[in-house]
Amino acid sequence: MSEALQSLLDLLDLERIEEDIYRGDSRCAVVPRVFGGQVAAQALVAAGRTVPADRHAHSLHAYFLRPGDPGAPIVYDVDRLRDGRSFTTRRVVAVQHGKPIFGLSASFQTYEDGLDHQAPMPPAPDPATLPTGEERLRSYPHLPAETVERFLEARAAVDLRYVDDPPFGDYGTPREPHSQVWFRTNGKLTDDPLLHVVLATYVSDMTLLDSVLLAHGRGGWAVGDVVGASLDHAMWFHRPFRADEWLLYDQQSPSASGGRGLGQARIHTHDGRLAISVIQEGVVRVPRER
């Protein structure tokens, strides 16, 4: 296991400070605030620790309310909304400096047999044929060295490989609002199903709005031609998967308007099983010229 992955696992390992109340550390991401995927992943950890082990997360719905302060811990307050015969529902509020910064609802279910069908996996090159994230980032001479290092540090726990150029790599000309990324953790994980769902939740917030930027030829936060932040995030976990094995994140944007952009995606396992569906809306604003 890489040192960066162990550091991420430590970050997601919350401290229990009271019944249904947990505390997590925070750290700065690419932008000077807490990475949204970290808060979502930590909130899911808090919810999962109040649920029986035989019930697995099948969905989450979340709102980002305020920017997180990377210099202060985050307290997660879990509300046990329902414990049914098949489903368990939890609500989590993340608090900093006495104010809620994030709210999550998550549902867990015992295993059941049932109807089974899925959308086919889209075509994509094998991840082994693609440049690593570091190779691709260092190939763009227009990116400042400090920006590259910030990205590499923020994503060091994950092997993330773009199929085509990301928005910050080749911008200026609008493209189809479609982006594909292969990802897996940089090291093996334990068999705990919740851990794999939590890691996928963490990664899911890294690139989902890329397709919005592609549609308008914008490079994004890395080059400063837009200002953005996640607003809400929803995920459905359809089938078992491992976050330490290759997953294809196929993303597209059906709409952008009113200073907001919508991204939607499907995540498939390397052998073609549809594992996760994701939808996110975020603020995407073009800075005004002074």
Indicate which residues carry an active-site annotation: 205, 230, 280
Letter string b/e over residues 62-94, b meaning 16 or more CB atoms within 10 A of that residue's CB: bebeeebbbeeebbbbbeeeeeeeeebbbbbbb
Gap between the Cα atoms of 160 and 183, Å rounded: 4
Residues 6+ apart with CB under 8 A from 25: 11, 73, 74
Instruction: Compute the distance between CA of residue 158 and CA of residue 230 in angstroms, rounded to an integer.
Output: 20
C-alpha separations of 115 from 82, 84, 112, 118 in Å: 25, 22, 10, 10
- By 3-state DSSP, what share of the chain in percent is helix, strand and coil, each rounded to 5? 20, 40, 40
